[in-house]
Amino acid sequence: MESSFIRAVVTGGASGLGRATCEEIIKRNGQVVIFDSNIELGKKTCSELGIKSHFVQVDVTSESDVDQAIEQAVENLGSINFLVNCAGIAPSQRLLGKNELMTTAQFQQAININLVGSFSVCRAAINHMQHNKVDDQGQRAVIVNTASIAAQDGQVGQAAYAASKAGIVGMMLPLAREFSRIGVRVVTVAPGLFQTPLMEKLPEKAITDLQSHIPFPKRLGRPDEFGRLVCHIYDNHMLNGELIRLDGALRM
């Protein structure tokens, strides 16, 4: 499938890695529907990206919300042949805190948004993707889910976050194998340290310290580097059932 025919849904598309992905898709003359929970930021982003973008407010933890949003995306685009799941949270909390234990509800929040949310959007999207026309290689669509290097290198305080991202990695190969019969590829990207709104909230000294652990290039990743990789995955038919670390050789 050529990039100019991209008809994409990007969750978490109003900021950070999701927005960079939307920008890259539009650069390639594709169209995108942004799913995000932040209505003000979503509308602002959509306005800045122009006529090839649409915005739908979505709570990815609500199955009915997701189902309705996918239906709306199909109405806007005609069909969906590219799904990029970027929506997520990055909680940092020790199970055995100084003053209190992490609650089960706090653990479940990360699982529900990061893992169940990604599954829920995949579930709703594949129901439409299976009816797409195939390209010259028998492909109907591509799904890219966003994990994190924490899925393999989780640090202290990342039990919930790492578990949620490891779940995304774990469901990739079964889905890639299941969807192979209908010509849909599934790939997961595990970013390292990137310039995102969350990272920008850290003190400059903390950012400098984090960068020092990255072998090369010795800097934070740029969101456009994530977006370009995601679009390459769309273009490269042999990438399937694969976890790609995008981290400058960082091992925490």
**Of 107, 161, 179, 194, which residue is the catalytic one?**
161
What does the alpha-carbon distance between residue 218 and residue 99 come to, in Å, rounded to a whole number? 36
The backbone torsions φ and ψ at residue 188, rounded to the nearest 5 degrees and listed phi first, read: -120, 135
CB 83 within 8 A of CB 121: yes
Is 161 in the active site? yes
DSSP letter string over 139-179? --EEEEEE--THHHHPPTT-HHHHHHHHHHHHHHHHHHHHH
Closest CA to 139 of 207, 239, 47: 239
- Which residue's structure tokens are 């890695």? 17
152 to 5, 162, 168, 171, 211: CA distances (angstroms):
34, 8, 12, 15, 19
* CA gap 205, 242 in Å, rounded: 35
Mind telling me the catalytic residues? 161
